[in-house]
Structure 1
């Protein structure tokens, strides 16, 4: 893994938490990401990650799945109850069912080991770019029953309440909201999310998670509908 020499980064640079029990990999990732202009904090396991999260507002977590004690999947699922911070899972298991499990637990992306650090960097930048607040509402807000979604800001509100969306859920809803009433194939959705290798089942899992946030009855969706044999369509109303 190439390691850049720079160790000083801007105070307002995105802050990433790297969680991995492999000391060597953890340090290599820290130095590499710092060299690319990120602030980086590390943790050796889930317990230490929780301590870091209690005192610091991170922009993204890079999280190993296979760790002693609480696994990365378990930590991801727990964090999703209280945090919408983007999470990229790292794992030695790259089978489709493992990737699907990652999305089911609430991950925004999933990268199998061994990986090229440049690929991780690109995925991190893609996620941060699509989750960053954007001034203005050029694309227009979308009404979903009592809820209103702002594609540019990635925010969903219901009355005075803000509905918590993960970065992945906001990106998925934005991709659909920018083409309301138009059927998007799973391949088109994956491309919009930068997850071309995710697989159809992984997209289905993310749609299921999103429906829990926007549908009165996720089992009988009225807004995010399945078009059999074609894909998904968002029908605002």
Structure 2
């Protein structure tokens, strides 16, 4: 069983309009020392989030009052709450959209409660690691590399020419993962954990997609590459990095 941290069990909120699924997850996760709340709508979810500290959200896509994918996007803009989306849709495009818009993981109904438990455990472990990393980065004002500067407080990336470059949440987290470990080979698994990207085997290429996007923003034609692909091993951020505290 998962052991509560400092005597406090992780609090999981289940949002699903199917009462049988809500009860199943309340009973099953409760048997593994999780505190579980369950509601049927977006409005009820908002009430719980306002009045309680939630560690992880299990969110159905089809709700009576709001689309779950849009809820995930809104919550991701406001917080780093861990989110697992569940749905009866089997279209891969829907899965990709959910992950791109802010969900951390994705399960298709019908699913095994044990599989959900494994994903809850993995996501909470990853969230804890990211929290530790965030505290470590809290004292860092900015990173500088190859003429670029990433202002951590403003989450603003400036080019050597002084132009501000917009970054998605995934691109920002991926860049900070590289900047925290420059000139070291980082595996896909390490980058997935450090950058909050989905780590299901089906989507392990999401790292390659995000790195491709990041490269297009950082690397210009005729200039040395900043990110090197180490085939069979991972990726390396090549420049030296200066930390401003």
Cα shift at 1:80: 1.4
1:35-50 matched pairs, under 5 angstroms:
35-50=31-46
CA contact (8 A) 2:228 2:235 kept: yes
Give the structure with the higher percent helix: 2
Match of 2:93 in 1: 97
Gaps of 5+ in 2: 1-5, 157-167, 220-224
Match of 1:197 in 2: 201
State the number of aligned residues: 208
Match of 1:180 in 2: 182
Taking structure 2 as the reference length, what is the TM-score of the superposition? 0.66
Match of 2:143 in 1: 144
Return the alpha-carbon distance in structure 2 between the equivalents of residues 94 and 182 of structure 1. 38
Return the alpha-carbon distance in structure 1 between the equivalents of residues 113 and 72 of structure 2. 22
Cα shift at 1:229: 8.0
Select the residue among 152, 155, 162 that pairs with 1:158.
152
Q: Secondary structure at the match of 1:198?
A: helix
CA contact (8 A) 1:100 1:205 kept: no
Select the residue among 63, 70, 82 that pairs with 1:67.
63
Once superposed, what is the RMSD of the aligned Cα atoms? 4.1
Match of 1:3 in 2: none
Gaps of 5+ in 1: 1-9, 148-156, 212-217
CA contact (8 A) 1:104 1:206 kept: no
1:205-224 matched pairs, under 5 angstroms:
219-221=216-218
1:75-90 matched pairs, under 5 angstroms:
75-90=71-86
Taking structure 1 as the reference length, what is the TM-score of the superposition? 0.68
Q: Secondary structure at the match of 1:76?
A: helix
CA contact (8 A) 2:184 2:236 kept: yes
Return the alpha-carbon distance in structure 1 between the equivalents of residues 65 and 212 of structure 2. 29
